[in-house]
Chain A
Amino acid sequence: MLRYTFPFYLLITDTISASEEKGGMPQLNPESFASQVFWLTLLFIILFLINHYFFLPKVKNIRKKRDETIQSYLDEAKKLNDSFNSLVEKMDREFEEVKNEQNALIKKTFEENKKIFDKKILEINNDFEDKKNKLNTDIDENKKMITKELPKLCVDLSDKLYEKIMGEKKKGNVSDFKKLIGDDK
């Protein structure tokens, strides 16, 4: 085991001897102060100059470029949006016009058809009235004719019935029949 840990012991003893040489905190040893301050100042200034004049402007530029690109995309998108909106507005307007035209057309067609319909209805009504009047006239004429012919027909019928029942012919007349039914005036 000692064989494996031996190098570490060496390391530890080496550091012990190193610290014992000076004693106390090495941070408080003023011998190294000048060197540390000099290298710190030199290297910090170098790093500052490299950053200030070389690296950071690059980062600044790329960020600026990115912002500009994003802004240009946003502007383009806004333009597209505006043109889209104007197109939609135009479409809406045209649609409204077409709708109005269509409504006007429907209204006009409806009115024209209504006129035709009313005219037709009037014609049909007139025709119907004519036919009704004619029919009434016919009925009246027929009624008159039947009223005129009815006594004679009744006399003929009663003659035939008498002949059939009684077996002898008898000739009646219309005036007798009228007297019989009380219509002799």
Chain B
Amino acid sequence: MASPLAQFEIKKIIEIEAFGYDISFTNSSLAMIMTVVFISLFMYLGLRNLEIIPSKKQSVVESSYEFISGMIGDNIGNEGMKYFSFIFTLFLFILVGNLLGMLPYSFTWTSHIIVTFSIAFFIFIGVTLIAIYKHGIVKFLKFFAPSGVPKPMLILLVPIEIISYLSRPISLSVRLFANMMAGHTLLKVIGGFVFVLGANSFIVGGILPLAFLIALTGLEIVIAFLQAYVFAILTCLYINDAIHLH
């Protein structure tokens, strides 16, 4: 049985080194480029012939615009529209990265903790800077001490609040990474069953795991969308916290 983790192997395509760092072009980089190309193509084709009464392609692009706009409007309000481009790009980048990973022989770059953590850490730093810039350092620090709480309780609550705040990038990144990795690993395991059982029982034995594999693929596509949505909406909530500090 093949190792189900082999699909996450990073393979160098072009070796590049800069300032002592290995920044080789790998299968992960290729998948990311494919993601960028796919999104750009999607946007370009949708917005090629702009009409007041939109075509089907334009409607799809505008629907995604409206979806993110609604998400920001509901979770942050009008002030959040400044961050629209970032959240829109983030959502599409993760969504397409997840979905392209579902293609056979492709690579799911969202299943790498370093990638998801980098994004989540950037969001964490950005959100913290927004909060400090908007409210000042003192007011920002008061965020960790909820108002109306008895003073003795603060000894317990402040560390909890700080830990929960610091764990945001970890929870955000691990959620996406773990979901993607677990899903693809499961698909690989079930896929292995299809081959092994099918080969040993004149195909018949492979039918059940194949049906299961198809159902799981459907589920994984839903999860791909759901995780991108969760990532984007949590980013919205963190930005909302930074703007409104409550």
Query: A interface vs B, CB < 8 Å?
Result: 1-2, 5, 8-9, 11-13, 15-16, 18-20, 22, 24-29, 31-41, 43-44, 46-48, 50-52, 55-56, 58-59, 61-63, 65-66, 69
Contact = CB atoms under 8 A, between A and B. Distances in A.
Query: Which of A9, A38, A47, A69 is most buried by chain B, counting CB atoms within 10 A of its CB?
Result: A47
B89 interface: yes
Contacts of A61: 50
Nearest to A6: B199
A48 B9 contact: no
B65 A13 contact: no
A12 B40 contact: no
A9 B198 CA distance: 12
Contacts of B113: 27-28
B119 interface: yes
Contact of A5 (B10, B16, B47, B199): B199
A51 B87 CA distance: 11
Nearest to B112: A27
A39 B10 contact: no
Given A2-B199, A36-B10, A43-B33, A19 B5 contact: yes
Query: Which of B7, B52, B62, B119 is most buried by chain A, counting CB atoms within 10 A of its CB?
Result: B52
B114 A36 contact: yes
A65 B52 CA distance: 7
B99 to A, nearest CB: 15
Given A2-B199, A48-B89, A56-B84, A35 B29 contact: yes
Interface in B62-101: 62, 65, 84-86, 88-89, 92-93
Interface stretch (B17-25, B125-133, B140-148): B17-25
B9 A19 contact: yes
A183 B51 CA distance: 130
Contacts of B47: 55, 58-59, 62
B5 A25 contact: yes
Contacts of B9: 18-19, 22, 26
Given A38-B21, A62-B58, 4 more contacts: A39-B25, A43-B36, A44-B119, A51-B92
Interface string B173-214: 000010001000000000010010011001100000000000
Interface in B21-64: 21-26, 28-29, 32-33, 35-36, 39-40, 43-44, 47, 50-52, 54, 58, 61-62
Contacts of B198: 5
The 3 closest A-B pairs by CB, nearest first: A19-B3, A19-B6, A15-B6
B1 interface: yes
A31 B9 CA distance: 11
Interface residues of B, number: 58
Contacts of A51: 39, 43, 85, 88-89, 92
Given A27-B114, A27-B177, A40-B115, A35 B22 contact: yes
A26 B23 CA distance: 17
Contact of B43 (A2, A37, A55): A55
Given A27-B113, A59-B61, A40 B118 contact: yes
B69 to A, nearest CB: 9
5 contacts: A9-B195, A15-B7, A35-B10, A36-B114, A55-B61
Contacts of B29: 35-36, 39, 43
Query: Which of A1, A27, A56 is most buried by chain B, counting CB atoms within 10 A of its CB?
Result: A27
A181 to B, nearest CB: 124
Contacts of A56: 65, 84-85, 88
A38 B25 CA distance: 10
Interface string B149-191: 0000000000000000000000000000100010000000000
B36 A46 contact: yes
